[in-house]
Chain A
Amino acid sequence: MVECVHNNYRHHIGSHEEIMAMQAKHKVLATYSYEPTTIERGYNNRTLYISVGGEFDTSAQDPLTASVTGPNGIIIGEKAVSEDMKKKFVGGKGFDLYHLWKAVKADTQWNDACNDIVISPGPLAGITQYPGAGKSLVCCISPTTHLPVDSNVGGYFGPFLKFAGFDAIELQGKAEEELIIVIDGNKHTISVETAPEEAFDSHILGEQLTEMYADNEEDKPNISVISSGRAAENSYIGILNFTFWDKRRNCLRLKQAGRGGIGTVFRHKRIKAVVIKYSGTHANLNNPVKPGLINAAGIRLHKEMSLLDDRQNGMRHIGTANIIEVMDKYDLLPTHNYQYGMHPETPKIASKVFIEKYITQNVPDGCWYGCSMSCAKAADNFELRTGAYKGHKVCVDGPEYENAGGLGSNVGVFDPRWILEANFYCDTYGLDTISMGTMTAFAMECFQRGLYTLDDTEGLDMRWGNGYTLNELMHQMVAGDGFGMIVGKGIRHQKRIFAERFGKVAPEYEYMLQGKTWNAIPVPEEKVVLTNVINPDLDDCKYLKDENYDDKAIMESIKGTPLSNPGAANDSAFVAHPQRWEKIEGIPTISREEIADWPVGKPYYSTDPDCEYTNGRPWVKMTQEQVDYMNKFAMENKGLEYSEYLMKESLAQQGGYALCNKGAQHDEAWLIFMDMVNNQIPTFEDKAEALHYFPMFRTWFGLLGLCKLPWNDVTPLDNKYEAEPAKIPGHVRNYFDIYEGVLGERLDEASMVQQSERVYTFQRCFILRMGSGQRANDFPPVRSLGPITKEEYLSREERYDKQILDKQGIDVSGKSVEEKIQIIMDYRIDQFEQLVDAVYLRRGWTPNGTVKLEKLIELGMDIPELVQTVRPYLKAEGYWPTGEEYAKYENM
């Protein structure tokens, strides 16, 4: 049993009687009873469709085979899953994208009612004999990228959905009031209900709904809830939390579909939660054809976990956070917005610190039954110091590696307490930890490079290491006010807003401010000001003393303003202070359309609806030079913030990020060690082959409902003797076995890759349809390619000097740092372009990144939707094939 678990937040949830009283306030708007099915070879052969309301065009969607309607456009119904759909799209992300394509149009925006959140677990999901088989894939049009985004998530919802009778669920429309959807997989009923009184934040709401719909304590593991949180509504980086009940801890656990703002879409639809209930889980509910194959593969992996995990990655003790110090040692831990890959304070956030001080040990932390890897670690009894739940002792799900990187080193926070606090608030408020970390890092660097000041943040100190600021930004997103409202929109929006608002007043326009005083609006109450939140003792690492940052000057400038007196006992602490400035009369207010032609440096205000943050500091446009400077270190691609690995020394990983269909996420390819350390893929062709195989191989997990981690976070003893040990061939054979076990067909490597390539290619065409998917969209921020500042170059000066000599044949003696940066970056940009050429060629795309018709035909994906999408691009590029065999595609 777990000892000393005193998570004490339950008083916020309410008593059983109070929760039942909440349920009594529900109004059932629609109910639907469906016929039970028997799962055959992993499939139910039907999709659950729910519109929560509103009017939109559904003519391109598959027809409903049965349905009921409710008020305000509510629909609950079913769609058939065809054999062709299974063959081409398999399940999981494939099914998601299939439905999403039909739901939206090329000009659909994320907040249109027709935007479709699709969740599918895949045909292998739900087996309990093999670790990591409880995944769901979630897709929708993203608020940050305006493209289809996919995100995978554990927890019990996906398997329960399948056991309830559906291979996927679509959530479309926009409700007129806060709703929940309740699926009872045993009674075969679905209801759409109002839910006016339940909380919004996930750790409270999940427990309320679990208590509400469980028959008794023993029934709680049979409930899973999808929810988001309050900050998801005021940001573009909302997540979905999928719950499971942790019997050992006697509390709810949260797993996240994190990337791309799916939770923002969920909350925009005014869906408060989706609840599913299913009792009766057992190993063979998928009705597998050859269960013996699954059992044998499972036993092999369980034995490896038992025998090898302690001496390999320690996943059972700390989960993915085991690599924090490994990344630091290999110069890969993103630090200060990806400037550096290591930091002298990393030992403060090393995995052993979390193991020894925070993470409850010896608990089987699997996020689905049967997962002996059990990496879903948690810190119990963690006392919060800020925000809505200050003083509560809570269960924090994490930290995962990405959380420690994003909410830690990348923003210069090396205090595990701030990391865990931010981890908790990201989850319960419904925010993506990765985007939160990376976009805060960008905002911090802009601040410290002088692109904006405390006047723009109402005194919120945006320097590296301020863990209080990191959390305060999230609290502001919940409140719907403050600088956090800008940060929460993500880097792509930050860039635009900073460029429009945070320029310097040009001398010729200073008259507009003369004689006018910005009047501080009285502050109703002082906020608690923490001391000693910033303590970057970097004397033992000189290069980390960023030359352009002058902390002393910043502190002096603060002291010269009213913001220097926040009422704190310690006047050396500068943290959030709710000072607000009134608008200055006489400065014109213009529309969004007028901003483009407005003079640089001339103050103005705008009616831009994106700027709910109404600080009265006049807006001033940046110069183009400032904008270009800022864009160099804005770490997003296609609108998605980079995840937490330093990629600048690995050309292959630069491609892995920038060529990723959804934006800068590493789940398609993680090649840093193969490339940078092992030097296994030295040529462009080698890298292109890796950037073909691994994205296709990894896509397969998301089609089938599997977790990637059991593939290569433990490796068989005899893996070292394999011809290609990086592919973990023994585990790939396991996947062939469990696929055959469930579906009855044997895959090989080629057929496995082809399954993925069909869906991958479909997604590439999808992003082309939505206005991306061309070469220009795949170009990354230049910081991802190499050193762009003096600080970065000097941090690795010897290495870079040698690289220039060895690879470019240039002796850099006597050259300035600026000259050397220019030399190495010109080379690296050229290398990146050559890589892109090689990858496009390998993938069967044109030099501009368009999927060729011949590739669609080869994959059997020459379906009208895709042909019509690529045709105008191929014709414009001169790649539309001629010949009789292609004639039928002219008018398809």
Chain B
Amino acid sequence: MIKLNNRDYPYREGLTVRSLMDENGFVFQDIVVKINGKVVRDEAWSSTVIHDEDDVQMIHIFGGG
């Protein structure tokens, strides 16, 4: 199990930042990704593997109209 935005989320081997975003339909262009408090840069989303019990934050920087 991992935490995704402070909610429990099932872990599976090989889960990457990008695949996690795809699974959750996170298509917004301006998202800050942090794993265990450390920022993951955009260009590393596809290659960054998420480990069991990681605390993942995908913060959408969207403040509305």
Contact = CB atoms under 8 A, between A and B. Distances in A.
Contacts of B39: 720-721
B65 A330 contact: no
Interface string A683-721: 000000000001000000000000000011001000111
A699 to B, nearest CB: 14
B36 to A, nearest CB: 15
A311 B29 contact: yes
B59 A678 contact: yes
A330 B58 CA distance: 14
A728 B59 CA distance: 13
A287 interface: no
Q: Among the interface residues B5, B32, B57, B65, which one has the most CB atoms of the partner chain A within 10 A?
A: B65
B4 to A, nearest CB: 9
A326 B63 contact: no
B64 A666 contact: yes
A46 B49 CA distance: 62
A725 B65 contact: no
Given A329-B25, A715-B30, A720-B32, A677 B60 contact: yes
Given A326-B27, A329-B27, A725-B32, A678 B65 contact: no
B10 to A, nearest CB: 14
Interface stretch (A594-602, A667-675, A747-755): A667-675
A12 B61 CA distance: 46
Interface residues of A, number: 32
A678 B58 contact: yes
A414 interface: no
A662 to B, nearest CB: 15
Contact of A670 (B5, B26, B65): B65
Contacts of A311: 29
Interface in B16-65: 25-30, 32, 39, 57-65
Nearest to A645: B64
A666 B29 CA distance: 22
- The contact size tier of chain B is 20 to 34
Contacts of A329: 25, 27
A312 B42 CA distance: 12
A711 B65 CA distance: 11
Contacts of A401: 65
Nearest to B63: A712
Nearest to A331: B25
B32 A643 contact: no
Contacts of B30: 312-313, 715
A185 B34 CA distance: 54
B61 A728 contact: yes
A567 interface: no
A250 interface: no
Nearest to B29: A312
B29 A643 contact: no
Given A313-B29, A329-B27, A721-B39, A711 B7 contact: no
Interface string A720-742: 11000110100000000000000
B7 to A, nearest CB: 6
Contacts of B32: 719-720, 725
B28 A326 contact: yes
B61 A726 contact: yes
Nearest to B39: A720
Nearest to A322: B29
A15 interface: no
21 contacts: A313-B30, A320-B65, A326-B28, A329-B25, A330-B25, A643-B65, A667-B65, A670-B64, A673-B62, A673-B64, A678-B58, A679-B5, A712-B61, A712-B62, A712-B63, A715-B61, A719-B32, A719-B61, A726-B59, A726-B63, A728-B63
A429 B59 CA distance: 41
A678 B65 CA distance: 18
A680 interface: yes
Closest 5 CB pairs of A and B: A670-B64, A712-B63, A720-B32, A679-B5, A673-B60
A670 B58 CA distance: 18
B27 A725 contact: no
A803 to B, nearest CB: 12
B39 to A, nearest CB: 5
Contacts of A725: 32, 59, 61
Contacts of A673: 28, 60, 62-64
A682 interface: yes
Contacts of B25: 329-330
A432 interface: no
Contacts of B26: 677
A402 interface: yes
A680 B57 CA distance: 10
Given A678-B5, A679-B6, A672 B59 contact: no
A682 B29 contact: no
A680 B63 CA distance: 13
Contacts of B64: 645, 666, 670-673
A255 to B, nearest CB: 15
A185 to B, nearest CB: 32
Contacts of A313: 29-30
A787 B6 CA distance: 25
Contacts of B29: 311-313
Nearest to B33: A720
A340 to B, nearest CB: 16
